[in-house]
Structure 1
Amino acid sequence: MKVAWIINIIHIPLNYVLIFGMGEWNGWGVEGAAWSTLLVRAVGTWLLWRYLKKSVLAISLGTLFSWDKNTKEMIYLAIPAAVERMIMRLGQVVYFGLIVVIGTKTFAAHTIAGNIEMFSYMPGYGLALAATTLVGHSWGAGNWREAYRYGILTAAIGVVFMSFIGLAMFIWAPWYASWFTKDPEAIEMVAIALRIDAFAQPALAIGLILTGALQGLGDTKSPMYSTAIGMWAVRIVGIYFLGIYLEMGIAGIWLAIAADIALRAVYLFFRFKSQAMQKIKLEQDRDENIFN
Structure 2
Amino acid sequence: FVLFVIRAFLNGLGLTYIGMIAAFVVTFSNIFLNWVLIYGNLGFQAYGVDGAAMASSLAGFIGMVVISLFLLKREVLNYLKSSGKFFDWEVLKEIFYLGFPPGVDGVLTNLAFLIFTKFAGMISTTALAASSIVFSIMTISFMPGFAFGIAATTLVGQALGAGKIRLAYQGTFRAASYSAFLMGFVGLVFIIFGKEIISLFSTDPIIICETYPALFVVSLIQVGDAYHMVVGSALRSTGLVYWVMVVYIFVSFFVMLPLGYYLGVHLKYGTVGLWSSVFVWILSMSVAFVWKFRKKEWVSIRI
TM range (shorter): 0.7 to 0.9
TM-superposed CA distance for 1:13, in Å, is 2.9
Counterpart in the other structure of 2:10: none
Q: How many residues align?
A: 277
Is residue 197 of structure 1 aligned with residue 218 of structure 2?
yes
Q: Determine if contact 1:124/1:209 at 8 Å carries over to the other structure.
A: yes
Secondary structure in 1 aligned to 2:142? helix
Aligned to 1:34: 53
Among 248, 251, 258, the alignment partner of 1:237 is 258
Residues 163-204 of structure 1: per-residue CA shift (max 9 Å, x gap): 122111111100111111111111122211211111110110
Identify the residue that residue 222 of structure 1 maps to in structure 2: 243
Larger deviation: 265-274 or 9-18? 9-18
AA at the equivalent of 1:98:
F
CA contact (8 A) 1:173 1:190 kept: no
**Corresponding position of 1:208:** 229
Give the Cα separation in 2 of the matches to 1:35 and 1:247.
Answer: 43
Deviation (angstroms), 1:17: 4.0
- CA drift of 1:26 comes to 4.8
Per-residue CA deviation, residues 235-256 of structure 1 (Å, 9 max, x unaligned), is 2222211111111111012101
Cα displacement (A) at 1:77: 0.7
Are 1:133 and 2:124 matched, yes or no?
A: no
* 1:11 paired residue number: 30
> Which of 234, 254, 257 is the matching residue for 2:275?
254
The offset of 1:224, in angstroms, is: 1.4
What CA distance in whole angstroms lies between the structure 1 residues aligned with 2:44 and 2:25? 29
Q: 1:56 is paired with a residue of what secondary structure?
A: helix
- Selected match of 2:143 from 109, 122, 128: 122
1:81 aligns with 2:102: yes
Residues in 1 aligned to 2:72 and 2:262: alpha-carbon distance in whole angstroms:
51
Structure 2 SS opposite 1:179: coil
**Closer, same or farther in 2 for the Cα pair 1:79/1:8, shift >3 Å?**
same
Distance 1:276 1:148, change over 3 A: farther
Q: Deviations over 1:17-36 (max 9, x none)?
A: 4444458955332x443333
2:101 counterpart of 1:92: no
Q: Secondary structure at the match of 1:57?
A: helix
Contact 2:239 2:298 in 1 (8 A): no
The 5-angstrom pairing of residues 269-280 of structure 1 reads 269-276=290-297, 279=300
Distance 1:232 1:243 in 2: 16
Equivalences for 1:93-112 in 2 at 5 Å? 93-112=114-133
Q: Which residue matches 2:192?
A: 171
Taking every aligned residue pair, what percent have the same amino acid on both sides? 28
Task: State whether residues 222 and 268 of structure 1, in contact with CA within 8 Å, keep that contact through their aligned partners in structure 2.
Answer: no
1:43 matched to 2:62: yes
Pairwise CA distance, 1:124: 1.1
**TM-score by structure 2 length?**
0.83
- Shift of residue 14 of structure 1? 2.2
Structure 1 unaligned spans of 5+: 280-292
CA deviation vs aligned residue, 1:67-93 (integer Å, no higher than 9, x gap): 432222122111111112111222222
Name the aligned partner's letter for residue 96 of structure 2.
I
3-state SS of paired residue (2:75): coil
In the alignment, the residues of structure 1 paired with residue 66 and residue 24 of structure 2 have an alpha-carbon distance, to the nearest angstrom, of: 12
- Secondary structure of the residue that 2:239 maps to in structure 1? coil
How many Å separate the matches in 2 of 1:178 and 1:266?
A: 34
Q: Does residue 66 of the first structure (1) align with residue 94 of the second (2)?
A: no
Q: Give the letter for the 1:217 counterpart.
A: T
Task: Report Cα offsets for 1:201-239 as digits up to 9, x if no partner.
Answer: 011000100122112212222321222112111222222
In structure 2, the residue corresponding to 1:244 is in which secondary structure? helix
Q: Rate the CA distance shift 1:192–1:33 in 2: closer, same or farther, 3 A.
A: farther
Aligned amino acid, residue 193 of structure 1? A
Residue aligned with 2:48, SS: coil
Residues 66, 21 of structure 1: CA spacing in aligned structure 2 closer, same or farther, 3 A cutoff? Answer: same
Partner letter of residue 28 of structure 1?
G
Counterpart amino acid of residue 237 in structure 1:
P
Task: Report if the CA contact (8 A) 2:117-2:131 is conserved.
Answer: no
Query: Structure 1 segments of 4 or more deviating over 4 A?
Result: 20-26, 276-279
- The answer on whether the counterparts of 2:101 and 2:241 sit within 8 Å (CA) in structure 1 is yes
Aligned equivalents of 1:273 and 1:209: distance in 2? Answer: 14
What residue is the counterpart of 1:286 in the other structure? none
